[in-house]
Amino acid sequence: MKTLTLTRPDDWHLHVRTGTILKTVLPYTARQFARAVIMPNLKPPVTTVDQALAYRDEIRAAVPKGLDFTPLMTLYLTAATTEAEIKKASESEIIHAFKLYPAGATTHSDSGVADIVAAYLLFGAMEKHQIPLLIHGEVTDADCDIFDRERLFIDRYLGDIIKHFPDLRVVLEHVTTAEAVQFVESAGNNVAATITPQHLLYNRNALFAGGIRPHHYCLPVLKREQHRLALVSAATSGNPKFFLGTDSAPHIIETKENACGCAGCFSAPVALELYAEAFESVDALDKLEGFASFYGADFYRLPRNSGTITLKKSSWDVPSSYGENGVSIAPLKANEFMSWKAQYFDSH
């Protein structure tokens, strides 16, 4: 296969930051994706509809002229979130979900939920008002092995959440383990999951190949090969519970390559190419369109996109960094060879 044409896809999990970094990274997403679910973990976090409206305006101003891109906004769930705000969000055309970060689980999660059970009243309001809950599914206990954090969250909390709120639509974000895949597969149709390119392509050895590899450090952290294979199997299965969410998370090189590097992989400039590589590795390119373009839209009850984007079999080298004017961000596959290249999208 030399070309692959897809209905224009969406990214159901994306970080774009704000200010100069936003202006630097957003065009890469807008060139490939029609829509993206925007994560709300800024400093301070986006916790109200009014804040999300302002953030949306900033994002839209950063979209290059001639590109059609829609940010799908989310709100950051905190202990101070009210049912009134949940109702207001559900009535807003721009808010598409609430995001649950266990406090301390990842970048800018300090304002997250410290007591999951105490948030049940909020989950009930979200179920009542039919707005999805997006979950960063990790426990944050200091004595917990970092490679077990997702599995333990599922065991301790996720099953009970689904049991108590059977009509709540839940997305388990950036799943990384065979246990997470099994949970989503066995749950009802109200439970889905996003899968990132890094978790499809790499196992935890990639963190230490020839030395510490900070640009492969993300949260949830990369896992064993058996888990990567489970994710590839889920993504390429045609099961509509699993769909594309890059979790592209830009950090300037200086904050990644230091004594305490931050978590996050920047994949936006090469996102579709990375997924194509993963799907091609198991001879499943025919399953990429559903995963990238259909299943997420269906779960979020949004129309599927019109227009297309074409990937061409073409050898090229990924740049060492992207950005200018003092912003330099290293992408996944920096200075490495890739065999697919996104060519264009046709809005007609």
Binding residues: 13, 15-17, 41, 99, 136, 174, 219, 247, 251, 263
Distance CA 13, CA 11 (A): 6
Cβ atoms within 10 Å, residue 65: 4
CA distances from 303 to 35, 53, 95, 331 (A): 11, 22, 16, 31
Q: Quote the DSSP letter at residue 93.
A: S
Question: CA torsion sign, 78 to 13 to 17 to 61?
Answer: negative
CA distances from 123 to 152, 156, 169 (A): 20, 16, 10
Tokens (6 digits) for 186: 């066995």
Nearest to 154 by CA among 116, 114, 202, 194: 116
Residues flagged as binding site for Zn(2+): 13, 15, 99, 136, 174, 247
Cβ atoms within 10 Å, residue 346: 11
Regarding beta strands 308-317 and 337-346, do their DSSP bridges make them parallel or antiparallel, or are they unpaired?
antiparallel
Burial of 338 by CB count in 10 Å (0-12 exposed, 13-18 middle, 19+ buried)?
Answer: middle
Distance CA 77, CA 79 (A): 7
Regarding beta strands 3-7 and 308-317, do their DSSP bridges make them parallel or antiparallel, or are they unpaired?
antiparallel
Residues flagged as binding site for substrate: 15-17, 41, 136, 219, 251, 263
Q: Quote the DSSP letter at residue 303.
A: P
Distance CA 77, CA 253 (A): 29
Residue ranges of alpha helices (H) inside 154-270 are 159-164, 178-186, 197-201, 225-235, 253-256
141 catalytic per annotation: no
Tokens (6 digits) for 222: 């990369």
Catalytic, out of 10, 110, 141, 247: 247
Q: Which residues are catalytic?
A: 247
